[in-house]
Structures are given as C-alpha cells and as structure tokens.
Chains A and B, each alone.
Chain A
Amino acid sequence: MHGRPRKAPKPEDLAAFSAKAEKLRILQSQFLSNHHQKIYTKEAVELSAKLLEINPECYTAWNYRKLAVQHSLFESNLDPDAVNSILNDELRVVENALRQNFKSYGAWYHRKWVLNKGHSSIENELRLLDKLQNVDPRNFHAWNYRRFVAALLNRSDEDELNHTQDLIDKNISNYSAWHNRSVLVSNLMKKKVQAFLQKDEVLIREYELVRDAVFTDEDDQSGWFYHLWLLDQTVKAESPLLTSSWPAHGSDITLSGDRYLDLGSSPFNTYHVDSGSLPLILYFNQAVEGVNMSTVTVSSGFNVNKDVIWKPILSNNSKTAHVWVGQLKFPKVELDSLGAYTLEVTLGHSQGIISSCGFHYSHPSHFSFTVHVQPAKKEPVDGFGSEKISWRDENFHIYEPDSLESDLVLPLHHLSIKNEHELSDSSWQEKIIDEEISNFRELLDCKIGKLTLARLLTARDALVSSDKSVHSEEVLRLYSELMKLDPPHSQFYKDEHSLILFEKVISGRESLLSYCFRYRNLTSSSSSNPICLRLNGLSLSRLGSFEKLLWVQMLDLSHNELRSIEGLEAMQLLSHLNLSKNKLGSFTSLESLRHLKSLKVLDLSYNEIGAHSVDTTRYLCSSPLCHSIGSEWDGSELVTDGVSLVSYWEAFFILKGLKLTQLDITGNAIADEKFTAFLAEVLPALKWLDGVQLN
C-alpha cells in the first residue's frame, strides 16, 4: 500500500512479536525436520500450512509443499476427486498466505505452480484477484498474476481491456491499469481482432478516453504517459525505413586524392580519399540489424569491390544501430585515372533487415549517385592534416555558392529516396493529430497542456514530408514558456527547444547556407577545404536531426550549452569538430567520439570536464569492465611511463581509437600537466596540443 506512515511499535506489540517469533521458531524446526526426513503425512503437511499462514516468506516451506503435492498425487493414482482435493488444499493455503501478506512472492509463485497443473477456474482466480486489487489497485504481484491467468486460461483481451476501464473509472491515477491497457490495445491490434481492425478508430477511441482523464485532472501524470504512448502509436512507422544516406541520391561526389587542388566542384560534395575507400552511410529511422552484403546491393558500372563490409555504429550495447557504414574499396588503378562512375544501392529487396521491435524492412528502396574520381597529381604530403586549425571568426568566410553550385546544395539535406510507402495514406494520422491539436489548444494554461501541444505540433510537422516546419515558431515559443512556468524541469524543456531550433536552422536551403562557411587561414594555400557548418552561439543544449547532416566534415558547435553530444556518431565524415565553450562535464559524455574514426582536429577547450565530482553520465557509458569492450581494453596498457591510466580511464577509453592530430583541452578542470602528458602518450599522432606544437 502507498502512503502509509510507519509507526513505532508499542511495548505490548514488541511482546507480541517475540511471542510470535518463539512460536515460529518451534514450527520452523518441526517443519525442517519433517522436510529433511521426507515426511509427507497429513499432519506434517498441515504443519507447513500453519507455518506459511504465519510467515508466507518461508520459501523452503513452499518447496516442501510442492514435493508433498507430487508425493500425494503419486499416491492418489490420479483419481480425479483426490487430485482436486489435493490441489484445492494448495489454493486455500496460498489464499490464506496472501491474506497475511498480499505481496509474498513465494505465495504467488506457488499459486502459479498449482495453476500450471491445470487446476482452478478463471472465475475463481479473478474473484481472488478482484479482492486483492480492491485492497491495492496497483499491486504489481496481482497484475502480473492477472496477466498470467489471463494467458493461461485464455481470457480474451477484450475482457481484460474492460477490466482496465473499470479500474480507470474508479481512479484515473491507476498507472498499472493504463499500462496494461496499452499492452492489451497493442495485442488486439496486432491480432486484428474485430473492432480493432481499423487502427485509426482504435486510436480515436483511446484518445477520447485519455483526453477525459487529462482534462479532468491535468496534474495527474498517469494520463500523460498514456497520451504520449498513443501519440507514438499514431506517428510511428512500423517497418524500418532508410531516412537518408551519404552520398545522397542523385548527388555527384568528387573523390580526390589531392587536397591542394581547387577542383572547381562543389565543396559540399568533395571527399578526400586517403585510404582508397569511400564510406557509404545509411541512416535508418529506427535502429536495425541485419545490414549486410545480401540485404544491401551495391552495383556499379566499374570495377569496384562490391563486397562491402557493413559495420553498425553502435551507440549502446545493443546489436541494432541507426547508422550503418560500409567501406567501398576503390582499386588503386581506378583512383589513378580520371573517370565518373554511377553507383546504385538497393535495399529491402530481400528480408533480413529487422528493426529492434522485430519489424522487417519491407519497402524496397533504391538510390544512386555518381562518383568523379580526381586522381592525385602528386604524392599526398602532410598538408591540411598537419596545419594548425584556428577556429577564430576571421578565418571563416560565409559560403556563397555560384549558380551552378546552388543546385548541388539541395540534395544534401533533401533525400529523395523513392520509398513506396509514401504512397500509403497518412491522412488519418494528420486528422487525428489535428483533432488533438485543436483540443489541447483549450488547455494552454498548464504545463501538460503546453507540453502536449508542443509534442503534437512537432509530430504534425514530421508527418509532412517537406522540409517546412510550419509550427516550429509556435513550438519554440511553447518550450520557452514552459521553461519559465516549470523551472525544476527547465533543462528538459531547454533540450526539446534546442532540438527544434537545431532542426529549424539546418532545414531549408536558405537557412542552411547562412551557416555554411569556408575555412581560409591566412597561411593556408588551400582553397578546397571542406565546408564548415558553424552552429556556434545558438545556446543549443541538445543535438538532433543528424540524418540531414551526414555530409558534414567540419563542424563548429562552440559557445553552446551542450552537456552531451549523443547521436553525433552518425556524422561519420567528421574530421574537424569544435566543442569549446560548452557545458560538457566528462569524457563519458563524449562517448560518441569513439565512433568518429575520421576525426583529426578536436577542440574541447573551456568545458567542465573534471569539474564535477560525480559523473552522472558514467553509468550510461560502457565501462572497461563491461564485456562488449573487453577486447579493446588491454590490461597491460594500464600503466605507461608512470602515468596512471586508471585515473583517466574515461579519457583513454574515448580517445584511444582516434587519430587526432590537433586537440585543445585547456580551460577544463582535468587539464593539468599530468593529463597533457597522458594525452601525448595516448595520442601518438598528435601534433598540436592546446595550440602548442609537439615534437
């Protein structure tokens, strides 16, 4: 039960307790001797019942009873009457034990065991459950058992759904009932039960119910969660889809071996190939597994190795990933001669790509792009890579595309993969969400009203395939109001605000171009440096919309309020990253960096790394103790040259696999002499550390 204060026991209670304990001890020892001697007489079994009625937590006694039941079932020669009476006895003992403590694991388990013997009836069990759920409607033992009984005895999901309705009618704050309802509704829709065939009708009914709850008491959170779940059901695409790719569909990629040539092509689409391979990046709308040579076909008119090895970019320990990268190997011969090749990528033609929820990639997708190979005129020298990058404003010049190039900018953020699903009708979703939007406009004077409206508007914008986020201004305003209205959760609203702002900034050609700069150092002779996307000083606290930024190689996120860079691992082409003057609190919050294998230049200066004694992100980050990274962590490396890796294991873990040539760490609490020595050790390719050239 909830909200019951604990009272100090009175002296007479204490006396009663000790008397009870004495009695229990005697019972217990008698019972144990019976158990050891395998005595299953009527008296001995009765004794165990007596013990369990006083102390239902005595697991041994439950197990003893199971043995006794088996014994007597054997003795009874399976005479139906005898079997019935034996099992009825067990049910009675469990019921008495539950009366003593309705949250006794042993008792509930024992009942399940009896039921698995095919005993009892659904009426009987539901009667017991109703009694117990009356006492505590959120007793999770009872709920678990209810689901077990319903499944075992084939009670229909509709009946169970009506039961949740009854409980919600009694008290709308019954989380357990709402939760069970979501499970049951999903089941009924999946099974395509009559009246649950039309997804939109089901959802409309459920929206009506939860709307009543939210409007009746806007402070009650159980309804919020159900509404959020419904919204997810409304907009969620079941089967996984390819959201974007690099190279994008229809794009012309210039593959250059030489960094010093002004190729005259769009800097957006120039990729310097050092390793002789071109990365192919696939971004899915949900985490998937099963991306491999048989599920993704790459075909071209020339002699590249089409056996692409696909690797997931794992953000956590699961096997599924949003982002998959394949390396397209170009033979040396091809790279040495000028030429243009068209590559075609097809996926979804055969089953095998499966989302984490178990849905198959069922809509064949296809995209193609052209690669122009620009052979290197001379051997690559230590050029761009070794040059010190200064992120100062005067080194950046707004990018002004000429008319020819401007066409090339478009496909960067506008992926036009032909997905056949787009033919399917999404108007019912729009209708439902429009209805919800108009309802929640009535509830704008409280935080859940604003928050829900913001979520609905965002979902509405996402349904429209175009880049125009019609409601983004309104959503941003709602989140700003929420920050003021509900200061304890302002960080959450700020993050949501940041996501919307981020998307707004990078969506739309005009807007995106105004953040695109060219890096031109005074000393630099190069004019073919990649485009730098400068999203500095926007007070961003969270990043998103990575599917539109797969092309970015140089990114400036300085002067923001980032605490985490979660999701950044999708930007696989990133070679230059500026994260200075943010609120990053630890190396563990930079875990995404581990996956950015192209990263050369990294600025982490003026953050809060090492400033917080408690690193809350540490528990989200995989640790050297966890199995998944065991192979990467070599114990022998733990101590090198007297620098203890143990104290810097997070930094080691994040930076070890990177080939950084330039790193700025100054202005962080962690950055002392010992640490810089450690960095020089861990990053042998490092040429510049905090602006100082290393030997």
Chain B
Amino acid sequence: MSEPPSYPQIEPTTFDLIAAGTGLAECIVAAAASASGKTVLHLDTNPFYGSHYSSLSVPELTSFLNSNSTPSSPPSSTSTTTDSLDYSIVNLTTQPVYSDVEISCFYPELLEENLRKINLDLCGPRVLFCADKLIDLMLKSGASHYVEFKSIDASFVGDGNGKLWNVPDSRAAIFKDKSLTLKEKNQLMRFFKLVQGHLVATVAAGSSGDDGNGNDEKEGKTKISDEDLERPFIEYLSNMQLPPKIRSIILYAIAMADYDQNDRGVCQNLLKTKDGIDRLSLYQSSVGKSCTCDLYDILIRNTYCVNYNIILSFLPVLNTTESVGFTNASGALIYPVYGQGELPQAFSRRSAVKGCIYVLRMPVTALLMEKDSGRYKGVRLASGQDIFSQKLVLDPSLTLASPSASPSDLLHGKSLTF
C-alpha cells in the first residue's frame, strides 16, 4: 500500500448499510440486509474475503500476519481537516490483532512440496455441529449453495502423554471402542443417558407448563438440579465419579470446551454445566441430524469431493477428515471443504446475488459524524470518497483514533434492525 493504488469511484454514494470488513459477522449482517431488500455496500481492506475468518495459503498467511502485526498509521492529511460541510471527520486506526509474529519453517522442502495442499484457518479450525444454528441459518439464507462440507470421520483426544484416544460419541462407538474398559463404557453411556433424560424431562416440563422441580418419576427421566446446572461442568463431571479420561472426552471432544478446564489460571470462565449440557444436546441432535433431508442436501454433494484438508490444531482435539463417503454423514461434526474461510464467503456471495456491492482492497479511513447530533452518517474511503449511510457495521479491529467512542459502542449504539 506504499504506492497509492487507483481506487474505483463508487456509485451511488448513499446506502442503507455500509459494512467494513468481511468477517463472518459482517457477512451475515450484509446478507440479511440485502436479502430484506436493503442497499448494502460491503468493503474490505484485504484482497480476499473473510478478514480474520478467512482460510489462507501459507504465503498469504505470512503476509497477512506481518501486515496485521503493526498498527496502520492514520492518514495524517485528513485527520484534522474539518470541512465546511455539516459533518466532521473521525479518523480510524486498525488495531493490530497479532503481536510478536515470528515465522519459521522446519521442513521447507516438505512445505514447498505440499504448499498447494494446505490452507490455514486464521481463527483456528472450528468444526461445526450439524445441528448448529449456523447451519440452519445457511440453509435458510441460501448461503449453503456456496459451501461444501465434509463430515468428520473420527475425533481424538490427546492425553498428557501425547497419546491419542478415540472419541466414542455414540452407543455404537462406545460398544466398538477397544480402549475403554467395561466400567468406562458403562460410565460414559450412563452419562449420555442421564443427559438424554435431563433433556427429555426439560422438554416435558416445558410443554406441560410444569415448573420442573427436578423429578418426573413416572417417565423415569430426571432433571439435573438447578444447583448443579450452575456449577462448572468439570466439577459436575467429577462429582459424577467420571474418571479423567472420560471427563476430557466429554469436555473437549464433545462439548468442545475451548480452554483447559482444569486450570483456572488459564481459564477464569469455566464452562457451566448448563452450557455443557446444551453442547452435548447439540452434539446429540447433530448425530441424528445428518439424516434429515435438508442437511442431506449439503452432505450428499460432498461425496464426490476428494480433497484433503490438513487442519492444524492447538486444541487437545484433533479432528480428521479422511475419505468421505455417504455413510460418513452419520458423524455429528462437519467442516467446510476448503476451510473455515468458506463460511463468510458463502454469506457474501449470497448477499452479492441479492444486490450487495462488494469492494475489496478498499480501506475505510474515517467515519463521518454529524456535527449537530453527533451521529455517524457515513464513511470516508481510502480513495477519499465519502459514502453515506445511517447504519454502519465495522470490523472489530477498526478503532477510532479519538478515545471518545469505541467501535463496540458504535455497534451497540446503532443496533441494526431489519
């Protein structure tokens, strides 16, 4: 960006919504807005979609990391200029997301050889539950037409000694698993049944208008007590006499907890039992979900796709996608074929179809603020053009140069309604 690039002029200059940055959230908002008939301008500094949610090849990744580890200098020329217009200019800076970036390559030859085979997710590989709301959203919005998924064949949990344990996530898997002892099989399955019973009892209590004071004896389904639901999940699991191995299978591979739940130093916000159970419930409904025809639509298209993703993970869970066949669709987890970056891209394609205008390589340099009311009314682009809109959505890394307002205030203060 040292040499000022030639920026296109944008017509028209007034939109219902301007979104800066093509992260997943911005793309979903843009897609929703354009789907409901609003005029939308979607901008991104980068030459690719997805911002911090994209999946990049290794060279792209290195340059992205380097360019995002230093704060961009605000264009000094326009920073203090106050026009005779009825609005003032508030400069924006990009907050660096990465710091102390150090890139080294252990096997350059190997990397060189396989360079084209590797895509890296910027926000870390994230598998999706089949029953995730995001999947529903994709199906509903039509974004599902632009992304292909693979089902995850197997999950493993690593123990402290570097050994990988298969994750038995269903009755059949527990039955077949050779690494679990009889007792462990029994404990794990009983825990699944307990959760299942809790969910059934919760639904029953909800539908009958019952306050659900804990027991539904005649069904034999018992709810987990409210007190337990508020406790950290790991504590609850320990109280259920589950051994550490089973605890980590449940916590990290099924409930997909992010941080080490044993170490309060690393993670102050331990997963609560309530949320853990919700995740298990999501997982459980995901296992069955792949049979429903909607998702079947998505998955069946993947069967012809023979593409290998190598996902590097820093989490204790390693998910592998290997040969994908029709029968593999029974798994609870899916993953976009070309990486996480597919997701924002799918939504942006959807919004483009609905009339949203996309301009990449177009940084936003400043916000326009009405002098009288103090309301934001548009953005100034790197090309110097001012574009107007009553509603703005900004990438979280963009911050105001003046401390008066933060982007989060901006988002919250002007909540979007469609």
Contacts and interface: CB of A to CB of B under 8 A. Distances in A.
B171 A212 contact: no
Interface string A642-680: 000000000000000000000000000000000000000
A172 B171 contact: yes
Interface in A202-242: 211-213, 215-219
Interface stretch (B3-11, B132-140, B174-182, B204-212): B174-182
A443 interface: yes
A22 interface: no
B220 to A, nearest CB: 10
B172 A170 contact: yes
A215 B182 contact: yes
A341 to B, nearest CB: 60
A171 B171 CA distance: 8
Interface stretch (B35-43, B183-191, B316-324): B183-191
A178 to B, nearest CB: 13
A309 to B, nearest CB: 56
The number of chain B residues touching the other chain, given as a range, is 10 to 19
A156 interface: no
Contact of B183 (A172, A217, A219, A442): A442
Contacts of B183: 215, 442
A660 to B, nearest CB: 51
Chain A interface helix/strand/loop/mixed: helix
Contacts of A211: 182
The number of chain A residues touching the other chain, given as a range, is 10 to 19
B185 A215 contact: yes
A439 interface: yes
Interface in B136-173: 171-172
A336 to B, nearest CB: 71
Contacts of B193: 219
B182 A169 contact: no
B183 to A, nearest CB: 5
Contacts of B175: 168-169, 172, 212-213, 216-217
A171 B186 contact: no
B186 A218 contact: yes
Contacts of A439: 182
A301 B256 CA distance: 87
The residue in A168, A169, A215, A439 that gathers the most chain B C-beta atoms within 10 A of its C-beta is A215
Interface in A557-588: none
Chain B interface helix/strand/loop/mixed: helix
Contacts of A442: 182-183, 186
Interface in A121-176: 168-172
A448 to B, nearest CB: 11
B326 to A, nearest CB: 11
B182 A212 contact: yes
A172 B182 contact: no
B176 A217 contact: no
Contact of B189 (A168, A169, A217): A217
A212 B172 CA distance: 10
Given A212-B182, A442-B182, A171 B189 contact: no
Contacts of B176: 169, 212
A458 to B, nearest CB: 22
A212 B174 CA distance: 9
Given A169-B172, A172-B172, A212 B185 contact: yes
A550 B189 CA distance: 50
Contacts of A170: 172
Nearest to B187: A215
A215 B172 contact: no
A168 B183 CA distance: 20
Contacts of B189: 216-217
Contacts of A168: 175
A537 B175 CA distance: 47
A422 B182 CA distance: 35
Nearest to A223: B175
B109 to A, nearest CB: 42
A212 B183 CA distance: 10
Nearest to A172: B175
B245 to A, nearest CB: 16
Interface string B79-108: 000000000000000000000000000000
Contacts of A172: 171-172, 175
Contacts of A443: 182, 186
A595 to B, nearest CB: 45
A505 B174 CA distance: 44
Interface in A411-447: 439, 442-443
Nearest to A170: B172
B29 to A, nearest CB: 41
Contacts of B171: 172, 216-217
Contacts of A219: 193
A627 to B, nearest CB: 48
A169 B178 CA distance: 12
A370 to B, nearest CB: 56
A205 to B, nearest CB: 14
Nearest to B178: A212
Contacts of B172: 169-172
A442 B186 CA distance: 10
A436 to B, nearest CB: 11
A235 to B, nearest CB: 22
A254 B189 CA distance: 65
Contacts of A215: 182-183, 185-186
The residue in A216, A218, A439 that gathers the most chain B C-beta atoms within 10 A of its C-beta is A216
A123 to B, nearest CB: 20
Interface in B205-227: none
A168 B174 CA distance: 12
Interface in A430-472: 439, 442-443
Nearest to A169: B176
Nearest to A213: B175
Nearest to A211: B182
Interface string A362-378: 00000000000000000
Contacts of A216: 171, 174-175, 185-186, 189
A227 to B, nearest CB: 13
A542 B335 CA distance: 61
Interface of A: 168-172, 211-213, 215-219, 439, 442-443
7 A-B pairs with least C-beta separation: A215-B182, A216-B175, A215-B186, A216-B174, A216-B185, A215-B185, A172-B175
9 contacts: A169-B175, A170-B172, A171-B172, A172-B171, A212-B175, A212-B182, A213-B175, A216-B185, A443-B182
Given A168-B175, A170-B172, A442-B182, 14 more contacts: A169-B175, A172-B171, A212-B185, A213-B175, A215-B185, A215-B186, A216-B174, A216-B175, A216-B189, A217-B171, A442-B183, A442-B186, A443-B182, A443-B186
